[in-house]
Structure 1
């Protein structure tokens, strides 16, 4: 595989609304990000992924774009953005922007014109269909509940919105739409940004026959995903995008692709197909979901299932394609609360989870606050939540189905997107030092003990451990290029694997339990090695006998195996 800068990088995702407020209005902004660039330099990351900062009515926290080449007033101005880009580049940081082109806002001028008349030149910029016997064109369920179709009385037709009704889907079958999108992408790349994270980009090609979806027992709507995920022309569209835009710049591209399989992921990212650099899949994020409530299910999860998913992606993309590695983002609960222990072993399990992820093959992503060991939040009242998905689920389950409020709130506490969106905890000052005003979303009450000021002063903090993880990637080619092999496949407590490159073997041992565990590794009989990274309080063995290694609760240890 060719060497590329994005393979050697570590990406830090910023959710601007919640990162740092520079003017006291309670909303994070672009100047606030510029203020904190030195913090990111100290952490050691190379790339910032910036969630949307475009002009938006903010129905879905900026993923409903009204103007692709303007900045949302709450976040600042285009001059503020240009200053951020210049300062970031000056400090050696690249900036990747969110690209949201499956849909726009219903306030985008294209849609305003599209819905004005069936004869509008931009009518075909979006997907309009006639209903059937007073019903929507299909039975598909929207991502935020309800139908994917919204009726427009003026034209007696429905428009498609896979997400909110304020997020109408663009019609990628229309060549003019594609040209408009490519021109906009080139505008940003000419400005000097370093790539795109592409929001649900595998939804842009729909099955032109628009069939009904299968209806699960107990559900009102059908599953339309087989007809809009990885659709018939998706590779054609992405290849065209690459030829007309992406290939002209030295950039990084990652496609967010719900429902993508490793085999499909390979086709999207293999170099000679000229589509994307890497994809975000969701398979490991669904390990505790499923059933009638989907992501809102509170199923027990098994480490063997998590290992099976992650190792499958490692093996499938070993020689072709490239993995993106993540536990957290703006749509997921905090990993230390989900797969670790956010109480007694918060710091230790946060370090273990970081080790498990960062030592795999692929480009690692850190979501803001992950390096602090930030946790989920459990607000008592639904009024304290802002996330559209959570609010819609609450309304549907409580008002429509009569579910117990405590049960629904428990699901939001575990899986709601606001877990990731509570403001960044900078200090023990009021509102975590995020703002001098009233924050748009309440700060997690544990900010007094979990904050950046505290971790920077503590040499044993999660932050300083993440620094070491990032440094290891920069200094050891095996971490970037080495072959992955899973060990102890059937263990429900230990995630163990090796990375091998040019004769060097790294052994990674991660205890996912709160009890001491013994790792028996028959392949390492009579072998010893040197610990190069560990979260043990004290490194009690420096050249361990690797056949049997005793791991502390939530221990992570990386060993360079003697040749």
Structure 2
């Protein structure tokens, strides 16, 4: 396995709007991030992944970009960005930017030109189609609800938007579009950034025959995903991007790829393939999806979760590389989803951290995860800000007549705004996030859960994360060791070993809220078991057979 700095790193994701507000307008900004660089240095992370900070009308919280080489007014200026980059580099931290090039904003200069006329030189920068027999060009539904096609009167045609209608899809078949993207990427890399997290990058190649998608359940629209996910020219485009841009710099790349499996993951990240370093897959965060996807949540089971994570661990064991994450700006809070945020709140938060950080791959921490932030349950739909939530609620309640309470329960469990409430810095008003009115309400539990409190407590979740990060830095086995799952059929225990040369570590994590008996498998022998980290005060010395407490996590070095 080739060594690389990005394999040995721990990444911290910042969602700037909710991180820290420096000027009292209620919106997090670049100067707010600058003010917290020492906090991140203290945690021990290596890389900051910055969600989009580019100029944007903010229809989808900055994932609709109107100018790729400019900063959103609410976030500050390019001078602020340069200062942030310098401040991070001075502390030995790297910065990875979000690259959003499946689509732009409809307020981007290219689109303003594109929609003017059919023979405009920019027409072909986007995907335009005439209607079919008085109907839409295809029956595809948008990821955010409604049709994926928007009619534009000026030229009597439709443009494709897989997300919001203010996010028209770029036409990657057009070489000029690709060149524009590569030039923009080069501009940022020359500025000194350390890589890209690429938003829905496996959507950029579409099946050019544009067939209708299958209609599922009571959906009005068809599922076109097999015609735009991992499309016909995706590898060609990524290899071209690598050749034209990425190969010229020592940077980290991670592709967000819904609908990707481990076999495809190997193609995207294989060393000889010259595409990307790693991908974000979604299989494990889709556990518990019901017939209506995440909005019909169902109980999930541990064997399914383990099976998916192990499949990726084995799939990319020899070639390629995994990203490890429980949550991000699009997912509910890890401790509320996979742990127990009530009785075993702190124990389960630490257990989840252990389980993830001890696997093979690059771990990602989402802002607030290190202090144990939880999901939120706002009473009214009016308190929510996420376009996806609002569209879904409107469709479910107003069009399909579903019970508003049931719909709200699904939002509490799986809505994206769970991750977007402001970071809880202290117990002062608005959790110390802003002196103004926050753009979205703070989670009311900020008096109990906040950074100031956990920094002062050496047994806190924050200090536990710090220790896990330190272990990764000091022990090559955590980065490069071989992963092997044990007890794959257990619905209560997630256990595995890591092996590097003669060294072997055992990781045992309980996902149960009662005590469970653990027996060491016969094929594992040891003279002495040294506990490296655990989330309870005491750890059994003899590990042939012992009682695992609720949500207990233990890591042993087997000598």
2: CA distance, partners of 1:347 / 1:471: 20
In the other structure, the counterpart of 2:404 is 405
1:373 aligns with 2:372: yes
**Aligned residue in 2 for 1:561:** 558
Alignment of 1:173-322 (within 5 A): 173-291=173-291, 293-322=292-321
Structure 1 contact 15–368 (Cα < 8 Å) conserved: yes
Contact 2:360/2:482 (8 A) holds in 1: yes
Structure 1 equivalent of residue 460 of structure 2: 461
Report if aligned partners of 2:498, 2:504 keep a CA contact under 8 Å in 1.
yes
Question: Structure 1: where are the runs of 5+ without partners?
Answer: none
Asked whether the equivalents of residues 201 and 256 of structure 2 are also in contact (C-alpha less than 8 Å), the reply is: yes
CA distance in 2: counterparts of 1:520 and 1:304, whole angstroms: 18
Tell me the alpha carbon deviations over residues 138-161 of structure 1, each in whole angstroms, 9 at most, x when there is no partner.
001100000000001111110000
Secondary structure of the 1:484 match is: strand
Give 1:135 shift: 1.1
Q: Where does structure 2 lack aligned partners over 5 or more consecutive residues?
A: none
Q: Is the 8 A contact 1:21 1:434 kept in 2?
A: yes
Alignment partner of 2:294: what SS?
A: helix
SS in 1 for 2:311: helix
CA distance in structure 2 between the aligned counterparts of 1:461 and 1:526, rounded to whole angstroms: 31
Taking the aligned partners of 2:557 and 2:367, their CA distance within structure 1 comes to 30
Residues in 1 aligned to 2:458 and 2:465: alpha-carbon distance in whole angstroms: 11
Measure, in 1, the Cα distance between the counterparts of 2:548 and 2:217: 45
CA distance in 2 between partners of 1:332 and 1:489 (Å): 25
Deviation at 1:527, TM superposition (A): 5.1
TM-score by length of 2: 0.99
> Which residue is 1:38 aligned to?
38
* 1:62 equivalent in alignment to 2:67: no
Aligned partner of residue 7 in structure 1, secondary structure: coil
Partner Cα distance (1:209, 1:132) in 2: 13
- What displacement does 1:540 show? 4.5
Aligned residue number for residue 155 of structure 2: 155
CA distance in structure 2 between the aligned counterparts of 1:295 and 1:139, rounded to whole angstroms: 22
Residue 76 of structure 2 is aligned to residue 76 of structure 1: yes
User: 1:525 offset after TM fit, Å?
Assistant: 5.4
Whether the 8 Å CA contact 2:531–2:539 is kept in 1: the answer is no
Please report how far the alpha carbon of residue 521 of structure 1 lies from its aligned counterpart in structure 2 after TM superposition.
2.1
State the distance in 1 between where 2:110 and 2:524 align: 62
Contact 1:43–1:467 (CA<8 Å) still a contact in 2? Answer: yes
The CA distance in 1 between the partners of 2:95 and 2:222, in whole Å, is: 39
Distance 1:167 1:428 in 2: 38
Q: Could you tell me which residue of structure 2 aligns to residue 130 of structure 1?
A: 130
1:227-249 alpha-carbon deviations (Å, 9 max, x no partner)? 00000000000000000000000
How far off is 1:264 after superposition? 0.3
Distance 1:191 1:525 in 2: 52
Conservation of the 8 A alpha-carbon contact between 1:526 and 1:547: no
**1:23 match:** 23
The question of whether the paired residues in 2 share the 8 Å contact of 1:325 and 1:365 is answered with yes
Structure 1 stretch 519-528 or stretch 485-494: which is displaced more? 519-528
Q: 1:524 deviation in Å?
A: 3.0
**Partner residue in 1 for 2:544:** 547
- Would the aligned equivalents of 2:539 and 2:554 in 1 still touch at CA under 8 Å? no
Measure how far apart 1:547 and its partner are: 2.2
1-side partners of 2:333 and 2:133: how far apart?
A: 45
- Distance in 2 between residues matched to 1:5 and 1:187, nearest whole Å: 23
- Root-mean-square deviation (CA), in Å? 0.8
Contact in 2 for aligned 1:202/1:231 (Cα 8 Å): yes
Given that 1:289 and 1:297 are in contact with CA atoms closer than 8 Å, whether structure 2 keeps it comes out as yes
Mapped contact 1:97–1:196 kept (Cα < 8 A): yes
8 Å CA contact retained: 1:473, 1:479:
yes
In structure 2, the residue matched to 1:348 is: 347
In the alignment, the residues of structure 2 paired with residue 112 and residue 526 of structure 1 have an alpha-carbon distance, to the nearest angstrom, of 68
Deviation of 1:290 (Å): 3.5
Match of 1:390 in 2: 389
Deviations along 1:472-516, one digit per CA (max 9) or x if unpaired, are 000000000000000011000000000000111000000001101
> The residue matched to 2:477 in structure 1 has which SS?
helix
1:436 lines up with 2:435 in the alignment: yes
Number of aligned positions between the proteins: 558
Q: What corresponds to 2:327 in structure 1?
A: 328
1:154 is paired with a residue of what secondary structure? helix
**1:217 offset after TM fit, Å?**
2.6
Checking the alignment, whether the CA contact within 8 Å between 2:127 and 2:171 is kept in structure 1 is yes
CA displacement at 1:126 relative to structure 2: 0.2
- How many Å apart are 1:548 and its aligned residue? 1.2
Structure 2 counterpart SS, 1:354: helix
Deviates more, 1:495-504 or 1:215-224: 215-224
- Structure 1 SS opposite 2:196: strand
> 2:484 aligns to what?
485
Residue 358 of structure 1 corresponds to: 357
Partner SS, residue 296 of structure 1 = coil
CA-CA distance at 1:344 after TM superposition = 1.3
* Conservation of the 8 A alpha-carbon contact between 1:527 and 1:547: no
Deviation at residue 266 of structure 1 after TM alignment = 0.4
TM-score w.r.t. structure 1 length? 0.98
| Cα drift, residue 282 of structure 1 | 0.1
Mapped contact 1:172–1:178 kept (Cα < 8 A): yes
Cα displacement string for residues 168-214 of structure 1 (whole angstroms, at most 9, x for unaligned residues): 00000000000000000000000000000000000000000000001
Deviation at 1:550, TM superposition (A): 1.5
- Residue 526 of structure 2 contacts residue 558 of structure 2 at CA under 8 Å; is this kept in 1? no
Q: Counterparts of 1:548 and 1:528 in 2: how far apart (Å)?
A: 14
- Other-structure match for 1:419: 418
